[in-house]
């Protein structure tokens, strides 16, 4: 799914019919929290549940260790984003630590 932006390059909250940002965790991670853990916490926040209530393991859709290593806080970090579907949501993880959670409506 392509991300839409405004004319000045800013991301829009509404991307397509059927997807809508329901949670955005822009750099809200506590120091030392792995990115993979922050993804689970963000999804739980978006769904209004606790992280333990997320039944599907993250490793079913993305390698948590690889995600943690890809976007580290070091100077050699890569820039970019990773997008994947998880538990009826589209998760976008940006290299700056921003995590967007979009509800994906069934087609």
CA distance 37 to 40: 5
Quote the strand ranges of 58-98, DSSP E: 81-86, 89-94
pLDDT for res 14: 40
Partners of 19 in beta bridges: 16, 104
* Residue 14 near residue 42, CB atoms below 8 Å: no
pLDDT for res 64: 95
CA distance 69 to 40: 16
Q: Which residue has the higher pLDDT, 84 or 4?
A: 84
Q: Is the pLDDT of residue 9 over 70?
A: no
Average pLDDT, the chain: 78
How far from each other are the two terminal CA atoms of the chain, in whole angstroms? 14
Total count of residues recorded for the chain: 107
Partners of 85 in beta bridges: 90
Could you identify the residue written with the tokens 């393991």? Answer: 57
pTM of the model: 0.74
pLDDT band at 29 (very low <50, low <70, confident <90, very high): confident
Q: What is the per-residue pLDDT across 43-73, written as a single tens digit (0 to 9) for each?
A: 998 899 999 999 999 999 999 999 988 876 5
Quote the strand ranges of the chain, DSSP E: 14-16, 19-25, 81-86, 89-94, 99-104
């Amino acid at each position: 799914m392509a991300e839409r932006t405004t004319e000045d390059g800013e991301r829009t909250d509404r991307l397509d019919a059927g997807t809508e940002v329901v949670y955005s965790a822009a750099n809200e991670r506590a120091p030392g929290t792995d990115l993979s853990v922050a993804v689970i916490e963000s999804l739980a926040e978006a769904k209004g549940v606790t992280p333990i209530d997320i039944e599907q393991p993250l490793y079913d859709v993305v390698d948590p260790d690889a995600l943690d290593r890809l976007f580290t806080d070091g100077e050699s970090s890569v820039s970019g984003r990773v997008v994947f579907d998880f538990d009826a949501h589209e998760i976008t993880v940006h290299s700056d630590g921003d995590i967007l959670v979009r509800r994906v409506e069934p087609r």
